Every structure is written in structure tokens, then in C-alpha cells.
Amino acid sequence: MPISADQGAALDAQAVNNFREYLQIPSVHPNVNYEPCVKFLQSQAEGLGLPIKIVTIVTGKPIVIITWVGQDPKLPSILLNSHMDVVPVFEESWTYKPFSAHVDEKGDIYARGTQDMKCVGIQYLEAIRRLKLEGVTLKRTLHISFVPDEEIGGVDGMKKFVHTEEFKKLNVGFALDEGMASEDDTFALFYGERNIWHLIIHCPGTPGHGSLLLKDTAGEKVSYILNKFFEFRKQQVKKLADNPNLTLGDVTTVNLTQIQGGVQSNVVPPEMVITIDCRIAVTVDNTQWEKQVKQWCSEAGSDVWIEWEQKEPPVAATKLDSSNPFWLAFKEATDKLGLKLKPQIFPGGTDSRFVRDTGIPAIGFSPIINTPILLHDHDEYLNKDLFLRGIKIYCKIITAVANLEDITG
């Protein structure tokens, strides 16, 4: 049955209150205490009349799964994923306390996690609340997952979870996860991600007194390698600037993030170490790129070697064509809502890459437009009306993908 105007107003107020309560839980790195999030989600599941399960792979890092069983539980299910953790804050740089969930006169809600990504987790739940009140039934089962540690790589969260029997039992056929805000009226939609390499490059060299012109020094090797990386970086910047149709996810980024070495100002050190953050475009041949980097290291001088802090393999992007019926259902729903979408490769890393790596199609989507991109930034906020509109958008998307007919034949 349709929801009345009074019911709608009450549901909106409840949704905003739940969102603010969730934001007020400081599930912030480092050393996150997830227990308050778990208790909050248990109360939400109880209010929705849905079963909840807590899966623990790593002690202190729970994975919460709320399930709405569909009419045909044998069909592959829909996974609605979000993460509970948020990045650190520098409170002195915030206008309002970062875990107060302050609402200003424009309806902007300020808190760490408003965009990344507690909004989406609550929007899933509030969309389900409305669908249940309207008497909507779904063919496919929904699993709403809340995972830990996404902000530090997801190693003890989704990365481990997708390889467990508990995950396999969910029988996931399609997944939704986070996207990011858009500064105009076009919704960003992400169908793939660059793979992440963190290279720690060790440059040993001839040590000695700072007044000498020694050969084969560590500093010279560092200089050669950095010049190669920065020249490549300039090429990628130009590629992006020359083609307005490209986004950051379409190029390979390299950034110097750490330099270590030296004991005092007049001593040439026996070794210097640099750390490079590299995000590789999905169009790049990883084998050739690694060969190029190793060649630069070899050209820099003797005994340079690479320690791999992180070396993710490439993961195939989710197809956005007729071979993916879930995408067609998603697109039909957003077309009916009149939403403008911009499909692109996500510039960072989310839990979607671990889901895609198992062969499950996944889309990253956060229904936030006309908003500055403030994930990980000071004064992160989301407008109340945009948050509420996102719930209505998810009502349509969830219904479309969860009512997709059996596609196995």
C-alpha cells in the first residue's frame, strides 16, 4: 500500500535520526572499536524485523549481515555492502565536532562518514523499511553487509570474507557498494578499479664524508628513479588534460609518499629508501609496467631492489552491456528516475575489487550530486534532502535488481 504523507514525514525524520546516530559512533582509525556499530545495527535489524548474523574472521573485526529473504531464495542474491570504519580526523580543522552530526540551517549534516560511507549503509536500510511498509515483495534475497577495515585496505574485512564458506553461502549474484559524490548533477557510477601497488625501493650506495664526490651514491640512484617516475607522471597529467572524456581512473598515477635515509648532514648514507604509491589503469599491461619499473631501477645503479608492500593483481571490470542483466535492470531503474549517470573507473580502492575478483559483477554508486567531494577531507558533510532522496533512489534500484528474473536458463 502507498505510504501516506504523514507516514512519509515520520519515515524521513526516523531516517535522519538513524543516520545521525550512526555518524555519532566514532568508528575511527586507528584501533577501531566496532562493538557500538554492531549494537546499533542489531537494533536496526530488530526494528526492521530482519535476521542478523555476525561473522568473525579476525577477532575484534566483525562482519554484520542483515538478510531479507526473497520469494525464491535459490536465485543468486543481491549484496548491498558498506563499511563501518572511517578515516582519522583533525578536529581543529573542523567547523563542528566531527562526530557530532551537527545539522546547520541549510540542512547540511557535518560528520566524518557522511559521504564515506555511512550514508549508503543507512540508505539501504531505510529503503528496505519503506519497501516492507509498502508491501513490496522481492524475488531475490537481499544481504546487507557492514564490513570492517575498508579504510586500511580491507585485508581483515572483505578481502578475507569473500573466500569463506559463510560468503559462498550467501550465493551472491550481484553487488552494490560505495561510489563518491559528484559536484554537478550527474551521478558517478563505478564499474571497475585500478589495482594498487606500493613499492618500497631500496637504493644502497657508497657511504662517506659529505665533502667528497663519491661514485655510485644512494642519492644519485634515488634521483634517477624519481626523475623517471615524475616524467611518467607528467605524461599521465597531460593525457588527462588533453582528453576531457577521461577521468582520473583512466590513467596510472604515481606519487612519492616517503623518503628514508641518512644519519646526519655531513655523512653520505649507505642507503636511501623511497616509497611509491602506484594506481594502475585497467588498460595497462601489468607485466610490461613492472618490467619498465625494474628497468629504471637497474639503470639507476647497482644493487637497487624493490620491496613490495602491496602488489594487487588486475581485476576485470564489471561489464556494462547486455551480457550483464543486473546492469540493465539498474540502468532501467535510474532511467525511469531521470538520473544522469557517468560510468567510470574508481580512482581509489574499495571493497568492490575483492567481490569482482571472485567473478561477481559489482557497481559502486553513492547517490550524491551537487556536492563537493569531501571523503577524507575536513568538514565532510551531506545535505539532509540529498540523503533522503538517495533512499528513494535505492528503493527503485533495489526493487529492479532484486526482481530480475532467473537468468541462468
Residues 57-69: pLDDT tens digits?
999 999 999 999 9
Name the residue type at position 11.
L
Whether residue 73 is found in the same domain as residue 150: yes
Whether residue 149 is found in the same domain as residue 297: no
Q: Has residue 27 been placed in a domain?
A: yes
Total number of domains constituting the chain: 2
Q: Could you tell me the CATH number of the domain that includes residue 384?
A: 3.40.630.10
Whether residue 285 is found in the same domain as residue 248: yes
CB atoms within 10 A of CB 322: 8
Contact 302, 365 (CB under 8 A): no
CA atoms within 13 A on the CB side of 244: 0
Instruction: Please choose, from the candidates 332, 317, 225, 311, the residue with its C-alpha nearest in 3D space to the C-alpha of residue 273.
Output: 225
Identify the active-site residue in 126, 149, 150, 351: 150
Distance CA 388, CA 14 (A): 11
Identify the active-site residue in 85, 108, 178, 351: 85
Per-residue confidence (pLDDT) for residue 344, from 0 to 100: 97
Per-residue confidence (pLDDT) for residue 2, from 0 to 100: 87
Q: Could you tell me the CATH number of the domain that includes residue 299?
A: 3.30.70.360
Residues 80-135: pLDDT tens digits?
999 999 999 999 999 999 999 999 999 999 999 999 999 999 999 999 999 999 99
Q: Has residue 207 been placed in a domain?
A: yes
Q: Has residue 354 been placed in a domain?
A: no
Contact 400, 138 (CB under 8 A): no
Whether residue 70 is found in the same domain as residue 111: yes
User: Strand 142-147 vs strand 77-83: parallel, antiparallel, or unpaired?
Assistant: parallel
Whether residue 158 is found in the same domain as residue 210: no
CB atoms within 10 A of CB 157: 28
Percent of the chain scoring above 70 in pLDDT: 100
Percent of the chain scoring above 90 in pLDDT: 98
Q: What is the mean pLDDT of the chain?
A: 97
Could you identify the residue written with the cell 624519481?
A: 226
> 367: which DSSP letter?
-
Whether residue 162 is found in the same domain as residue 222: no
The arithmetic mean of pLDDT across residues 384-388, rounded, is 98
Per-residue confidence (pLDDT) for residue 37, from 0 to 100: 98
Q: Containing domain of residue 300, as a range?
A: 195-311
Q: Has residue 327 been placed in a domain?
A: no
| pLDDT bracket for residue 348 (50, 70, 90) | confident
Is 85 a residue of the active site?
yes
Is 377 a residue of the active site?
no
Per-residue confidence (pLDDT) for residue 383, from 0 to 100: 98
> 122: which DSSP letter?
H
Whether residue 171 is found in the same domain as residue 206: no
Q: Has residue 139 been placed in a domain?
A: yes
Residues 223-282: pLDDT tens digits?
999 999 999 999 999 999 999 999 999 999 999 999 999 999 999 999 999 999 999 999
Residues with Cβ within 8 Å of residue 7, at least 6 apart in sequence: 133
